[in-house]
Structures are given as structure tokens and as C-alpha cells.
Amino acid sequence: MEPLSSTEILRFYQLRNQRCLSLEPHVLLFDEIDSTNTECKRRIHELPYGEDIFSHISEGTVFLSDYQTAGRGRMGKSFLSPKGSGLYFSILTKPRGEIKNPLVLTCHAAVAVKRAVKEVFDIELSIKWVNDLFYKGKKLVGILAEGQLSDSTSLAYCIMGIGINLFLPESGFPEELSGIAGTLFDYHEEKKETINRNQFLASILFHYFSLLDQDKVEEEYRKENILLTKDILFTENHQEYRGRVEAILEDGSLSVRCQEDSMKIVSSGEVKEKFL
């Protein structure tokens, strides 16, 4: 597998971009790190209070590592990030306009990965609300968005963490993940040698940056989501509800018809598929 290279990622990005977008990535590459999201937050918190983040850290900075010792997912979960098996990175951006909902940006990131996988590998992934992508029935992409409001109407910054399983780790997945986690490719040494992660990441960055001005979730996310028409179990104000997903709204929320025929909007928390 092609070694990760900041220079090569930028070269592939410029080839793909063809000067369509003004924003270019600035990639900080680590052999090993606890978490790329955590490292980005550390850099931000080291700045003097009140300082403009983007006068010190370029927008489009990408924290990329070949290995995370403490990769993080939503709801406090961990994300397994073994060496030489995937892509683990975080992107720092300044949300445009009045985007204040990290949910919209999370949906954009899912669409960007889906488009890049199709573009580079000609493989179709399925998106599952809110932050997972699946292939052959198993999860291979996790997304974690973190940010801070600058006021009541907009985000000061957004850190978009993305982890992608490309190949099975040498020791396999832990038992608790073996029936859940998947990979984009089956393990074949010859195939692994042909995969260029630099080109793949450049494609993801291009598609993600292309969506940053959009304050509504893309149609392909809303219309092709695994949870559409599915029966789910979710919690609101510490109370458990069951319902059926009827639509995904423009802000990324779920529109759910509950058992008592009432409608609820779900925009956060844990959602599980459930047969009613």
C-alpha cells in the first residue's frame, strides 16, 4: 500500500480540483497518535483565549495518522484504528453562513466519503443515519463531528473526524466487533499493494470541501439512507420510544412516526433498528 504522504495528497487534490475550489488541504501527518480529533482540539486549546483560530491554524488543515491508539467515535465509543489498515484523519474547517448544526456537516462528510469511494474504487457504500457507512452489511466508516458555537447562530469551527477500514487488521477484529465491523477490501496482498490512500483521501477532501457552503443535507443522503422506512428504538428525555422513520429532513433530523401515531423529530442520541 502506498505510504501516506502530505505532498502526494496535495498533488492528487490539485489534479482532482482543477482550481474549482479555493480551499486546499494542509496535511499534518503522524505515524502514530492517540486521536486525530484530540490532537486538533489540543492545538486549538493551546491558543491564547479569544484569538482567531484560523489566523494560527489554516482552514482545511488535516490531521492524519497511520495509527490511532485511542480513536474516538460518537457517544463516547472507541474506534479501532490499527496500523496500515485504513485511513484515520480529522479536518478543521470554518462553517459558512449560519450553519450551526454539526449534524449537517456530518451528513456532508458521509456523502463525501460515499462519492470518493465510488469515484476511486467504483464501489457503492450505504449510509446509515447519522454517521456510519456500510458495505456488504457491515460498518466500515465512522464519523465524529466536534465544534464550538461562536454565538447563537453559527459554529466557530468544526473538527470532522473520519475513520475508514480498508483492510482487515493482521490480528483480525476483536470478538466484540467481528460481526459488526467490515472492510472495503478483502485481504489480498496483491490488491493491498495497488491501493493509493493518498489519492483516496484527496478525493474525500475535494468532495467534502465542495459541500461546505451547503446548509442543507444532500438528496442522496436523505433518499438513500438505510434507516428510511425502518422501525427504530430511540430515547428522548430519558424515555424510550419506538417508531418508523418516514423521512430525513433537510437539517439531517429523522422524522419518525411513533406507535401512538404521533410524529417526533430525532436529531441526536442513539438510534437502534427495532422490529415493532
* Rounded-to-integer distance, Cα 183 and Cα 140, Å: 5
Which residues make up the CATH 2.30.30.100 domain(s) of the chain? 231-273
User: Is 116 in contact with 164 (CB distance < 8 Å)?
Assistant: no
- Digitized pLDDT (tens) for each residue of the chain, 276 residues in all: 789 999 999 999 999 999 999 999 999 999 889 999 999 999 999 999 888 999 999 999 999 998 888 665 554 555 666 677 889 999 999 987 766 678 999 999 999 999 999 999 999 999 999 889 999 999 999 899 998 877 666 788 999 999 999 987 776 666 666 678 888 987 665 667 789 999 999 999 999 999 998 989 999 999 889 999 999 999 888 888 899 999 999 999 999 999 878 899 998 877 888 654
User: Is 155 in contact with 149 (CB distance < 8 Å)?
Assistant: yes
> Model-level pTM greater than 0.75?
yes
Q: What is the CATH number of domain 231-273?
A: 2.30.30.100
Which residues make up the CATH 3.30.930.10 domain(s) of the chain? 6-223
Geometric angle at alpha carbon 37, from 93 and 62, rounded to 5°: 45
CATH class (in words) of the domain with range 6-223: alpha beta
